[in-house]
Each structure stands twice: as C-alpha cells, then as structure tokens.
Structure 1
C-alpha cells in the first residue's frame, strides 16, 4: 500500500495546474507523461521533505517550475529501478507464457 503524502490533500486543488503542466510536456513532445506520474514525481522527488505550513501558491509554483529534463531524469532512473520481469523465467516458462510451442530439432 502506498504511503500517504502530506500534500495529497491538495491534489484536487492542484489538478488544473497538473493538467496544464502535462499538456505543456505533450506540446514539447514528452508524450509519455500523465497526471499520476507527475504527481508521483512531485511527492517522491520534489516534495520529499514537506513543509508543515505550506501554501497552495507555493505548490503551484513548484509544479509550474518543473523542467522536462528533470522529470525525464527521474523517470529514467525509476525505469532502471523497476524489476526485470523475465529475469528468472526459463525458456519453458517463457514459451508457456507466450503460448508458443517448442520446435523439436533433429
């Protein structure tokens, strides 16, 4: 289960700004970004040390200041951290998963 971030309570207020930032990234041909990914970047990376008395305008400024390169660096590192799903799968299991038959060699 995911841990709740203190700024999650502001998500609905920040949704229009998040949508705007995602649209900006898409206009710049960074089409793989979506709102949940951007929110995860913010809560994990940008806001990893949340302030107790934060104002919504400060959060808006943080969102608007995100550079595509910063997000893409984070996304690349996260992709490398994700597990290799086929690392421990042997050839027989892979064939079963893909629904292919083994060709007998003479």
Structure 2
C-alpha cells in the first residue's frame, strides 16, 4: 500500500534529499543554498496549494528542481526583501536603510 500525505507531512523524511539538492546547487555556484531554501522554493514554485503526494513523487520533485527555477525563486525573494526594506525605511524615515 502506497502512502499519500500532504507535502508538509513528508518534510522530516525527505531531509537527506533536500540536503543532497542543496549540495548540488552549491556545486554549480549557488553557495548560499540550504535545504530550507530548497524546501521553500519547492513549496512556492512546485507544490502550490500543498498537494498530497507519495514519497517517491516528493523525492522526484526535489531532484528534478532545475537551477532556473531555484534562481527565479531567489530573484523574486531578493526583490521582495528590497521592497520590504524600502517600506520599512519609508515608515521609519530612515534614509540609511533605503541606501543599503
């Protein structure tokens, strides 16, 4: 019998696959890649809506995550972080934060 669970319910069991993918991304130049970043990328870009999947499907998604999708995820998050910093600076009147 194949077990089907929500994606988040598999996280503790797939940590070795996440670590492996993070190591692979580091080898191709994404030096700051972590298993948590890979997890968040998959949640935002691949598993929208927290679907139910089998273990082998989750592992397959991890290993098939392309560097292009990961780079897109990082780029979008960087822009969101910059927007957040600018918003905080505008609210606090802190010009130092805007310039960084």
Structure number having the greater helix percentage: 2
CA distance, structure 1, for counterparts of residue 94 and residue 18 of structure 2? 42
Structure number having the greater strand percentage: 2
Alignment map for 1:41-80 (pairs within 5 Å) = 41-52=41-52, 54-80=53-79
Q: Give CA deviations for 1:3-59 in whole Å, capped at 9, x if unaligned.
A: xxx32211111101001101111111111211111111111221003433x110000
Inter-CA distance 64–84: structure 2 relative to 1 (3 Å threshold): same
Aligned residues: 86
Alignment map for 1:1-106 (pairs within 5 Å) = 6-52=6-52, 54-82=53-81, 83-84=84-85, 87-88=89-90, 89-90=93-94, 94=96
Contact 2:8 2:50 in 1 (8 A): no
Q: Given the two structures, how large is their TM-score scaled by the length of structure 1? A: 0.71
CA distance, structure 2, for counterparts of residue 73 and residue 36 of structure 1? 16
Rg (Cα) greater in structure: 1
CA distance, structure 2, for counterparts of residue 39 and residue 50 of structure 1? 12
Equivalent position SS for 2:51: coil
